[in-house]
Structure formats: structure tokens, C-alpha cells
Amino acid sequence: LTSVEPAHFADELRALKHRVTAMGRVAEERVQLALQAVVNRDREVLKQVIDGDDRLNRAQVEIDDHCFRLLALFQPVAVDLRAVVSALRINTDLERVGDLAVNLAEAGQRYLLHAPVKRLVDLPRMGDLALTMLREALDAFVSRDTAAAYNVLAQDDWLDALNNQIVRELLTYMLGSSRVVEPSVDLILMARHLERIGDHATNIAEDVIFIVEARDIRHRSGLPPGPERRRQSTVAPV
Amino acid sequence: LTSVEPAHFADELRALKHRVTAMGRVAEERVQLALQAVVNRDREVLKQVIDGDDRLNRAQVEIDDHCFRLLALFQPVAVDLRAVVSALRINTDLERVGDLAVNLAEAGQRYLLHAPVKRLVDLPRMGDLALTMLREALDAFVSRDTAAAYNVLAQDDWLDALNNQIVRELLTYMLGSSRVVEPSVDLILMARHLERIGDHATNIAEDVIFIVEARDIRHRSGLPPGPERRRQSTVAPV
């Protein structure tokens, strides 16, 4: 650690942001790959997603090391401290998104053991929305754009609504035919995994607002646009 | 911030640990309350759990503030830095456990709209195991007991096995009778929520090992007892 020549903090922070966004792109790709493989019924690609978590895991360890090095070498305060601590948190969120890509692929493998329940339209739509939220949250982190971060928070409600709609529809199918029970449970779990990806995007957006505004919006009322961001459960009462 | 009289760092760290464990106890209580209310079919208590997340949310903001204050005032390094950053991470885990208590109660409310699927024995057993893991992980955090932390990691495999068993049994019921489809989906989601609580206990145990051993065991091979701790999905192939 002490053998490191301290570069200017701003340069280091830029490098750290670059690493975080690169990790975000890998996480996004893996989710996309898993979803497309389910739609295309491609078992080989699902297996690749399940076996290929190493790159994200390595990235997580490197980013953690980088953050600790910055904290120890530069002892940042105020906005700089918040930025480094937020990078640590975002790192955890992105690693979880990678895990969720694996969870999606595992549910997808089980889903493909059965005949298709229906044409998969809503699940990819839900995936597109969740991944758009993730990308926009990370862009907001790089540019410290709080307007974009608030926009991510607003989109989480749409994602939850889409999830509720998918689950209600699947329950109707399941009540009609025991043949679709097993694959439908896996579709419900996949929708739940995508909803969780939206929650991680929300966490990142909240961190951006925290870095810039130095206030914690997670549980305070009276703030635009969605004050209480508690994560929603999967299914609305049916 | 500058008006704070800096107490000795060790005293501050002790106070921080006290806060974290107190928050852990509240989170544990809320999960227990939700599970008991499902078993006792007590809608009133479920509503209390859903409406009562404020205490944990306040605790989370206070612990975050405390950690940032310690980082800015004392600029800790090495094991002290790892302890404060880990407290920040554990704080996030405990807040998520509180959210999962709410998710459990919401699924419980839907579950109670239907006649009982079966006597609920395995779900409380799973809850006991998950909460034991959480308690032991937090005790290990306070005492920096890595042996206890490794023990928590080992228990996560039992929790996953219990979850798989529950899901397989429920799928069998659902295939036999469409009457139990809807409540069974909620039982599967509740089991999934409990499995996630075990994952958060695992995160905390990994942080304890990280604080003490200064190494990240999350994704490295060749380390006792469970090298790759990727979170498992809910259902084994059936």
C-alpha cells in the first residue's frame, strides 16, 4: 500500500468511476444474455451465464481494493468521501446483479424442461426496463446528474407494476391447467429477479443523490418524487 | 461535524457496534413477528409489521451518519478502516432484512386470503435457521470471531437445502390441486425471502472474516470451508 505513488485524487476517482461503469456493462450484458437465451430456448448460453461469473467477481474485489486504497491514502472528506463510500456500495449492488443473472439462467434452465407457457413478451420488456434503469443510474453516478437519478426512482414504480401484471396473468394460467404450474413458477421467479435488478438500480440512484446533495433520501418524507423507497414485494393481492 | 468533540476511536467503535447489534435485534424481531403471524393467521400483526418499518429506517440513517463521522474525524486505516466500512455494509444488509420482513408479511396477507395449504412446519424451521445465522453473524462481528463466522457460512447450505425441499413439496401439492396454487406461490415466495435473509447473514459473516483476516473470501478458491459463496437460486430442478 505505501509503495503506491499517490496520484492526484481526481484522477484516481475518475479511474474508479471507469472501473465501476465497466463492471456495470458486464453485469448488464450477462442479464441480457440470460434473458435472450430463455426466449431463444438456448440451453448452451444459459450454461455459459451460469459458469461465467468470474469476471464480475474479480471486478468486485478490484474495486473494493481500489476504494480502500483511496480511503487510506487520501483520507477524503465531504463529497469525496461520499463518492468513494458510494462506489463501495454500488460495487455490492453490481455484484448482486451478476448473481441475479445466474439466478435468471438457473430458473431459465428449469423453465426449458417444459413446453412453453406462452410467448415471452412481457419478461423481456421487464428486462429492458430494469437494464435501462441500471444504465441510467450508472451514467448519473459518473456525471453526478441528480435529475437523471430521480428519473430512475420514478421508473421503479413502472417496473413493479409490470411485475404485478405478469404474476397475475401467470396465476390465471396456473389455475386453468396444472401442466403449466412448474414453468409458471419459474417465470414468476424470473420476474422477481428482474424486479430486484430494478431495486439495485434504485439503490445506485439514491447513492448519486446522496453524493451530490449530502442527504439521505431513502427514508425521509416530503422529498420529490418518491419519498419512501421501500422495496415492493412481488405480487399484488389477487 | 467539527463541533463534535472527538472521543477515543475505540469508544466510538464500541458505540457503533452496539448500534449495529441493536438494529440487528429489531430486524430479527420483525421477521419473527411476521412468521408467527402467518402461522397464527393473525392479520392484525401482519399489518403492524408492514406499517412498522420506520424504526429500522431511522436506525439505518443514524448508523450511516455515525460511520461517515468516524471516517471523517479519525481517518482510520487498516483493521479500523475495514471495521467502519464493514459497519456501513452490514447496515445495508440489516435494512434489507427489515424490508424482507415486510415482504414476508405482504406475502402472508395474500396467503391468508385462502384456506391453509398444509400445517406450516418447515417455513418456521427455515425462519429459525435464517435468524440463528443472522444472530451468530452479528455476534461474530462484535467479538471478531472468525470461527463463528465460518460456521455461519456452512449453515447457508442447510438453509438452501431446506428451501429446495419446501419448494419441491409445494410443487407436488400444486400439481395435485388448482385450489392450492395461489397460496402455494406465496409460500414459495416466503421461503425465498427467508433464503435471502440467510444470504444477508452470509454477507455479514464474510465481512467479519474480511475485517480480521484482511482478505476477501467472497470469490477466492482454496479457502475453508466454502470458497465460492454465490447465492443460490430458489428451486432445484424437479
Task: State pLDDT tens for residues A95-132.
Answer: 999 999 999 999 999 999 999 988 899 999 999 999 99
Report the C-alpha gap between A207 and A213 in whole angstroms: 10
Closest alpha carbon to B78 in B203, B199, B212:
B212
Write out pLDDT tens, residues B51-89. Answer: 999 999 999 999 999 999 999 999 999 999 999 999 999
Report the C-alpha gap between A41 and B2 in whole angstroms: 60
pLDDT band at B7 (very low <50, low <70, confident <90, very high): low
Mean pLDDT value across residues A22-34: 98
DSSP H helical segments within chain A, as ranges? 9-39, 43-51, 54-74, 78-111, 122-143, 146-176, 181-213
- Name which residue leads in pLDDT, A214 or B227: A214
Q: Please state the φ and ψ torsions of residue B116, each to the nearest 5 degrees.
A: -60, 140
Handedness of CA A12, B75, B219, A23 (dihedral sign): negative
pTM listed for this prediction = 0.88
Q: Reply yes or no on whether the pLDDT at A2 is more than 50.
A: no
From chain A, the residues in CB contact with B99 under 8 A are 230-231
Q: Reply yes or no on whether the pLDDT at A204 is more than 60.
A: yes
Write out pLDDT tens, residues B143-160. Answer: 999 999 999 999 999 999
**Closest CA of chain A from B177, distance in Å:** 8
| Cβ–Cβ gap A106/B233 under 8 Å | yes
Q: Reply yes or no on whether the pLDDT at A84 is more than 60.
A: yes
Write out pLDDT tens, residues A180-190. Answer: 999 999 999 99
Amino acid A220: pLDDT: 55
Mean pLDDT value across residues A44-56: 96
pLDDT band at B220 (very low <50, low <70, confident <90, very high): low
**Residue of chain A whose alpha carbon sits nearest to that of B112:** A237
| Cβ–Cβ gap A57/B234 under 8 Å | no
Handedness of CA A34, A95, B151, B155 (dihedral sign): negative
Q: Which amino acid is at B27?
A: A
- Name which residue leads in pLDDT, B149 or B219: B149
pLDDT band at A6 (very low <50, low <70, confident <90, very high): low
**Chain A, window 138-167: residues with a beta carbon less than 8 angstroms from a chain B beta carbon:** 167
Mean pLDDT value across residues B184-197: 96
- Name which residue leads in pLDDT, A172 or A235: A172
Amino acid A162: pLDDT: 96
Amino acid B117: pLDDT: 87
Write out pLDDT tens, residues B8-60. Answer: 999 999 999 999 999 999 999 999 999 999 999 999 999 999 999 999 999 99
> Do A185 and B237 meet the contact criterion of CB atoms below 8 Å apart?
no
Angle at B196 between CA B53 and CA B161, to 5 degrees: 145
> Do A114 and A182 meet the contact criterion of CB atoms below 8 Å apart?
yes
Q: Reply yes or no on whether the pLDDT at A11 is more than 60.
A: yes
> Do B119 and B40 meet the contact criterion of CB atoms below 8 Å apart?
no
Any idea which of A145-159, A163-177, A206-220, B39-53 has the lowest mean pLDDT?
Answer: A206-220
| Cβ–Cβ gap B182/A175 under 8 Å | yes
| Cβ–Cβ gap A178/B178 under 8 Å | yes
- Cα dihedral angle (B90, B91, B93, B94), rounded to 10 degrees? 120
Q: Which amino acid is at A125?
A: R
| Cβ–Cβ gap A188/B192 under 8 Å | no
Cell numbers 439503490 correspond to A203
Task: Provide the mean pLDDT of chain A.
Answer: 90
> Which of A185, A199, A216 to probe by mutation at the B interface, max B CB count within 10 Å?
A185
Q: Reply yes or no on whether the pLDDT at A236 is more than 60.
A: no
